[in-house]
Chains A and B, each alone.
Chain A
Amino acid sequence: MKTVESIQLIESMILEVKRDFSYNGFHFLLWGWLVMLAAVVNYILLNYVGYSNHWVGWPILMSIGGIITVVVTLRDKKSRRAQTILNRVMGQLWLTVIIGIVVVLFLMPQIGILNTYPIFVLLYGIGTFATGRIIKFTPLIIGGALCFVLAVVSAYQSFSNQLIIIALAILVSYIIPGHLLYNKYQKNV
């Protein structure tokens, strides 16, 4: 084997791995649109319908997201024949964020709903900012940083305004970067 052939072989194998494991942004898009929808539905029911259980969209839509995520994750795990360190790191990071969100849900009756949403925005920011820094994807870093700012801003707003802010936070941190990740993935495959 010639030395040039060795270099080409190493390069081609590394590219194979890179292509196989590039992330298509699926979870960002799924959760981005679900949270956006839940926040908008909550805003409409609260301000325009006057329905007392205006929060009803949250448990329904978040359960749908949870079921889809579990099914997709199990399917991926079953068909997965190789694992990158990066994938495992990302999995553990988002598992931690999800646990954080569940913990805050349990805190909600004690700390009050008005203090809850800013913490959710902060948690979105932590997951998104860290992901952006780890995979070196600027739109996620910007989205995460904006979430940090929006978390502070929302703490000084009414509940109704917090719903708009959470929709805005999810737009900049999940939906826009998610679509950009998807476009990038389509170009690379």
Chain B
Amino acid sequence: MFKELDPLLHSQLRLAVISLLIGLEEADFTFIKEKTGATSGNLSVQIDKLEKAKYISVVKTFKGKRPLTTCRITTEGISAFEKYVSNLKTYLNK
């Protein structure tokens, strides 16, 4: 039986962001941008969606004079990712 995949995670960039953050304690916006190869605009939008869903927490500060956006995965985000991977397996076993 196929299990439904979380639409919030079943999107290339959002899944890439969550997959990066799952292995990290925290990461800067520039790090995520470099690793995912996304544009700043698109990444901002997707990070905002993940934050609204409480899958990640975002803290905006300054490093010197430059703005610094730091993201970390939340426990809800970890659960959602684990559920997504587990549901993904139901498609692979068929």
Contacts and interface: CB of A to CB of B under 8 A. Distances in A.
B9 to A, nearest CB: 8
B39 interface: no
Interface residues of B, number: 23
A107 interface: no
B10 A16 contact: no
B25 A13 contact: no
A87 B27 CA distance: 13
Given A3-B91, A7-B92, A85 B85 contact: no
Q: How large is the interface on A (under 10, 10 to 19, 20 to 34, 35 or more residues)?
A: 10 to 19
Given A9-B16, A81-B30, A3 B22 contact: no
A9 B25 contact: no
B28 A81 contact: yes
A9 B19 contact: yes
B54 to A, nearest CB: 20
B23 interface: yes
Contacts of B85: 10
Q: Which applies to chain A's interface (DSSP): helix, strand, loop or mixed? A: helix
A82 B26 contact: yes
A103 interface: no
B20 A13 contact: yes
B26 A10 contact: no
Interface in B1-37: 5, 10-12, 15-16, 19-20, 22-28, 30-31, 35-36
Interface of A: 1, 3, 5-7, 9-10, 13-14, 16-18, 81-85, 87-88
Given A3-B92, A81-B30, A84-B24, 19 more contacts: A1-B10, A1-B12, A1-B15, A3-B88, A6-B5, A6-B88, A9-B12, A9-B15, A10-B15, A13-B16, A13-B20, A14-B19, A14-B22, A17-B20, A17-B35, A18-B23, A82-B31, A83-B27, A84-B25
